[in-house]
Amino acid sequence: MTKIDTSRPEHVLPTPSHTVGPFYGFALPFRGGEDIAPRGHPDTVTLHGHVYDGEGGGLPDALVELWGPDTRGVLPTTDGSMRRDPATGGHLGRNGVEFTGFGRVQTDADGHWYARTLRPGARGRSAPYVSVCVFARGLLVHLFTRIYLPGDEAALAADPLLSRLDTGRRDTLIARDEGNGTYRFDIRLQGEGETVFLEFQ
């Protein structure tokens, strides 16, 4: 074992820097986070995709948060995503009836995520969209983006955000329709096809 004389400043070595966290999978995910819409609701859609790093590899330790309005474009105020039992303090989860509009999903070993929610209604001048927040290793600050669903080209063309982007960048915000109410939306943190991220001030 090498001993270092710390009384002499020239002998003190700097501590190597490295990332030790955050460990998103430890405390942030919650049971049923992917089931945003009540089971069996006729307007349920499934959103899924991968979170990719700059080299195209899937991130197995990312979190995707989703917020969306109901089918009328109304933002819900229902508690339920992380309800607690007042007697035991245990996790109750959603009540299975009301739409909460919020979900949190951890990616799997391949970086894949999915969630079931209601097809969002339009709000204001915007085309219908679901808000997304991404947490992942290597990010000092979480990232915000949107998922627009295809189908209403006039609404997409008139959307204040989408209309400001060129076609290639715009397409990173529009999910791909896979049929039967299923839409694919991959999130690319950087590199070719990088997703458009939003900055709120």
What stretches of 96-192 show up as alpha helix (H) in DSSP?
A: 153-158, 167-170
Q: Evaluate whether 148 touches 74 at the Cβ level (below 8 Å).
A: no
Give CA–CA dist 158/70, Å, rounded. 21
pLDDT for 64 equals: 96
pLDDT, tens digit, 9 for 90 and up, residues 35-88: 888 878 889 999 999 999 999 999 998 999 999 999 999 988 776 656 667 787
> What confidence score (pLDDT) does residue 97 get?
72
- Confidence at residue 67, expressed as pLDDT on a 0 to 100 scale: 94
Q: Using 50, 70 and 90 to split pLDDT, how confident is the model at 185? A: very high
Nearest-angstrom CA–CA distance, 113 and 60: 10
Whole-number pLDDT of residue 95: 66
Residue bearing tokens 């700059």 = 54
**pLDDT above 60: residue 166:** yes
| Among the listed residues 141, 119, 139, 116, the one whose alpha carbon sits nearest the alpha carbon of residue 128 | 119
11 phi and psi angles, rounded to 5 deg? -95, -5
Average pLDDT (3-32) is 63
For the beta carbon of residue 115, count every other beta carbon within 10 angstroms. 22
Q: Is the dihedral of CA 121, 122, 127, 129 positive or negative?
A: negative
Considering the entire predicted model, what is its pTM? 0.82
